[in-house]
Structure 1
C-alpha cells in the first residue's frame, strides 16, 4: 500500500535527498538521512519484537531525534502514541493502560520516568534514546535503510491523547487515510502548506499541532520544519526571517509574545503566507500589529478529533470579521444544531458539528464514547457552542460544559473573558463558576495582572460598562503567577476550577 506517510518520505529521500527536512538548534537532517534513520529505528523495533498494530509510546522533549523516532515507529507498522515529556509517572501510567503500550522510546532526560511508570502496572519495554540515536550514523545498508511496513489506509498509525481541556483525556485515532486527507485539504486552501513549504513550530511535538501540522504535514509535502525546543520569542522571530518561513501556527499568547520583541519591529516577514491562530480569541490590536507587517493572522476553529483545524477565517475577511472562523473548508462542513439535532437559524447558538475526511474514525478502545460523539451519518459532535452569521461564518462561543448557569440563565465565560482582555492591566484571565446561595452559580474572574495598579474595582467597573449585571463577576482574584496552561498552550481551565473550587469561601465578594 503506497498511500502512506512512509511512502511519501521514501519519495522525497529519492528525489531530493539533500533537501533539509528538520532543523533544531541549528542542527539539520536532510531527507536521505531522515529516511535511513527512521528505517533503522523501525528495524530495531521489529528485531525487539514489535509487530504491526502494537502501540509504541514516544516520550521526549522537542529535539532532532523526535521526528526520526516517530516515523520509525510508524514505519515499523506500529501505532505511535506521542507522550507529554512533562508527564509524571502516574500520568504516563494512565495513558499506558489506556493505549495498551508495548514499548516506550524515551529521551535520556525522561527515561527514568518511563521506567518508573512501567513498574506501576502492566509492564512495557523501555528503549532509551541512547540505544537508537546512534543508528543515525550506522553503516549504510540498502535493505535496512529503506525498511517500512505499510498497513491498510484505514489502520491506525497514531493515537493522540487529548490534552484534557474538558477534564477528560481520550485517545484520538489517526490513520494514513485521515492524515493524507488533512494534508490534501490544507494544500488546496489558504493555509499556506505546499510542496517544499517551510514551517516554524514553537509548540510541543507530542500534540496535534506538532505531530499533524508540524512533522507529518512537512514530511508528506517534502518541506522543512524548524523546531524550537522552548518558546524564546525573539529567537523565533529571527528564525522566521532567516529561514523564510511560510507557515506558523499557535495560540494568541505566542503571537503576542513575538510582537513584543525588538526583533519583530525590524524583521522582514514577507515570506509568511499564513499565520493561523487558535485556542482563544485574537485581540484586534494583535491583528493590527501583524497587519502592519503585512501578515494576516487568521482565526481557526478545530479540535484533535477533526485533525486540528476544521475551519479558518478567509484571508480577505480576517480584518472585518476577527471573531469568526470562516465557513468550513473545501471538504469539511460545519453546522450548528440544537439539543434535538436540528439546525438553528442565523445568530442562534447551538452545538458545532463537523463532517469531513480529516475527522477521526473514533477513540482508541472506546466504542461507547465514539458512538456518542460521532453520529451514524458521520458528523462529529464537538461539545462546543457556536453560531453562524447570516452569511454562514462560524463563531465559537463556548464549551457546552463550561457554561455558568446563574439564576437559570446561561452565561458564557468566554464572553466575560473577551471583555476583560480589553481592560488595560489584564494580562491573562479565566472565568469560572463560583457557588452562590442565591443564584446557584456566579462568575469568578481569575486574573494575572500586567500592571500592579489593577484593582478588583477596575474589573467590576469595566464589566458593568459592557455586560449585563448577571454577567459581571462577583469574585475577582488577582494573582501574581501566570495562569496554568496545557501543553497545547491553552489555559488549563480544569486545573483553575480545581484550584479555586472554594473561591466562594476563600475570597470576599466584590459586588
Structure 2
C-alpha cells in the first residue's frame, strides 16, 4: 500500500527524508564512535561527579568483563537493572550491551508483585539493584531464575563524598531498608574483578535484542517490547537528523531528569546526545523540585527533555525563573500531551519553545516530532520523522482520508521486533503489512501534521507513564470485600490524569482507606488510585462488559 506523505513538504531545511540505518550496526558501535571522537569530553554527571567518555569506556568494559568472565553469561542472556539516574546506570547498561547481552530496564519503585512478574517473564539471571530497593529483590528472589544479585549504594561512584552520602541515606534519613541477600556482590567489587577479564570482541547484530522494555498489557500484565540494536540505532539516527541543525557537537549539556529506564530518556538523552558527544547531567530525584531547581542553577545547560508534569512542576517552583537559560536552545516534551498553558508559560520564562513529540515504547520511542523552529505551541504531535510512515485506519484496517479520525498506525525501522514470548499479542499489534497499531485515535491535516484526539485503549496516562486499568482492577479484586471494580483515568492538573476507582462492595464495611492500603502494597505510586467512588452497580454492555468510557464521561461531567 502506498502512503501519501504530505509531511515531507513541511520538513525543516536540512532534514532528510530517509536516514542511514546501517551507519552503525549496533548501540555499542554508537558508543565506541563517541568514545573515539570525544574521548576526553564529559559524558555523564551526577551529584557533582563527572565521568568522561574514556572513563565510561574503561568502566563499562570492566562490567562486561565481570558478566562474561566471572559469571559466564552467554550472548542474549538478560540482565535486569533496577536503579534511578546515577553514574552506575550508564556504566552498567553499556557494559551489558558490550557483553552481547540484553538489558531489562526495571522501575526501582516496583512492588514485589510487579518485580516478580518482570523478572520471571524476562528470565533475567542477573539483577543490579540500588541498595534502597534491594529489600524488594530479596522478597521475590526465590521465585525467579536470578543467579546473581549485584548491589550498589547511591554514592558508590562519588569517592569520599559518596561514602558519607551512603551513611546519611542509611542511618540518618533511613532511606535504605535492611536486606540480606546471600551471595550478593557489590558493584565496585564487580568492576574490580571484571578488570582481570579483557573484553572479547563481540559483534552484536542489528537484529539482536538490546533492551527488553516493559510496557503495560491489556491483560493486566506488563509485556516486554523487544527493541533490537537496529530499532534503537534507527531511532537515534531519526531523532539526530531532526535536531541535528540545532546541535553543537561536543558542547551540548542536556538535563536528564526523566529516568533512563524510561524509553524516552534512554533514546533521546542517552543515545542521541551521546552521538553528538554531549554531557548528560543526570537528576536522581526530580520529584524534589526545590532540589532540582537548585541543581539547575549550577549548570549552563543547552537542552532538556521532560513530560508536561515535569515542566509544570518546575514552572511552579520558587526560584526557577532565576535559572540561567541563556544557553538553552532545545526543549523536548513527550510521554504525555503537552498542555498549551504550560508550553506558553515555558516559552515566556525560558525563551525556549517547548517542542512536542510523540512516540511509544514500541517505536523506540519517537514516531512524530514538531519542527524544531516552531515559534509556539501548535497542539499537534508533529510530523512523522525520517524513514517513518504514518496513516489513520478505521476498525476494518482501511486507510482513512485526510481529516478523518481513526487509529494512528506507524511503520518504520524503529518499530519493535515484537512482544517477548507473546506471538499472539505481537500479531494483534503489528499487522501483516508491518503497521504498528498504536491504540491512539488521531487525525492528519492537509500539511501532514498529526493530532491525537482520544485513546482507543482504556489506558490511563499518569505523568507520562502508562497505567493499564486491567492491572489495577486485578489487584483491587484480590480484596475479599470487593464485588466489582473498574479503573478509569480522570483529568488532573498536576499529572495529566490520575486513577479513579469505581467499586461495588461485597462487604458493606469495606472502606476507601482499606483499598488504598492494599494498592500501596501492590502497585507503584503512580498507579495507585487517587479517587475512590462506591456504587451499587457498574454500567455494562448487553454481554456484561464494563463500560469504562461511561464511567470516564461521568467523572468528567
TM-score (norm 2): 0.71
Answer yes or no: is 1:182 the counterpart of 2:235: yes
- Matching of residues 493-504 of structure 1 within 5 Å: 495-496=528-529, 500=532, 502=534
Identify the residue that residue 218 of structure 1 maps to in structure 2.
273
Identify the residue that residue 206 of structure 2 maps to in structure 1.
153
Asked if the contact 2:63/2:190 (under 8 Å) is kept, the reply is: yes
Asked if the contact 2:63/2:194 (under 8 Å) is kept, the reply is: no
Query: In structure 2, the residue corresponding to 1:285 is in which secondary structure?
Result: helix
- Matching of residues 100-499 of structure 1 within 5 Å: 100-129=123-152, 131-134=186-189, 144=198, 147=200, 149-162=202-215, 167-190=220-243, 195-196=249-250, 197-231=252-286, 232-237=288-293, 239-240=295-296, 242-292=298-348, 293-317=350-374, 319=376, 321=378, 323-402=379-458, 417=491, 430=498, 492=527, 495-496=528-529
Distance 1:432 1:37, change over 3 A: same
Identify the residue that residue 60 of structure 2 maps to in structure 1.
38
Query: In structure 2, the residue corresponding to 1:310 is in which secondary structure?
Result: strand
Asked if the contact 2:285/2:292 (under 8 Å) is kept, the reply is: no
Identify the residue that residue 16 of structure 1 maps to in structure 2.
38
Identify the residue that residue 469 of structure 2 maps to in structure 1.
none
What's the CA shift for 1:496? Answer: 3.7
Answer yes or no: is 1:73 the counterpart of 2:96: yes
CA distance in 1: counterparts of 2:122 and 2:257, whole angstroms: 27
Identify the residue that residue 99 of structure 1 maps to in structure 2.
122
Q: CA RMSD in A?
A: 3.6
Identify the residue that residue 108 of structure 2 maps to in structure 1.
85
Asked if the contact 2:409/2:438 (under 8 Å) is kept, the reply is: yes
Distance 1:147 1:263, change over 3 A: farther
Q: Deviation per CA, 1:278-323, whole angstroms, max 9, x where unpaired?
A: 24333323222222231101122211111122112224546262x2
Unaligned runs of 5+ in 1: 405-412, 437-478
Asked if the contact 2:127/2:146 (under 8 Å) is kept, the reply is: no
Identify the residue that residue 467 of structure 2 maps to in structure 1.
none
Identify the residue that residue 544 of structure 2 maps to in structure 1.
none
Distance 1:255 1:113, change over 3 A: same
Q: Which moved more, 1:344-353 or 1:20-29?
A: 344-353
Query: In structure 1, the residue corresponding to 2:207 is in which secondary structure?
Result: coil
Asked if the contact 2:65/2:99 (under 8 Å) is kept, the reply is: yes
What's the CA shift for 1:242? Answer: 4.2
Asked if the contact 1:89/1:116 (under 8 Å) is kept, the reply is: yes
Identify the residue that residue 410 of structure 1 maps to in structure 2.
none
Query: In structure 2, the residue corresponding to 1:254 is in which secondary structure?
Result: helix
Query: In structure 1, the residue corresponding to 2:432 is in which secondary structure?
Result: coil
Asked if the contact 1:58/1:80 (under 8 Å) is kept, the reply is: yes
Distance 1:164 1:367, change over 3 A: closer
Unaligned runs of 5+ in 2: 1-21, 153-184, 461-487, 505-515, 539-550
Q: How many residues align?
A: 442
Q: Deviation per CA, 1:57-109, whole angstroms, max 9, x where unpaired?
A: 11223211111011111111111101111122222110112111121122222
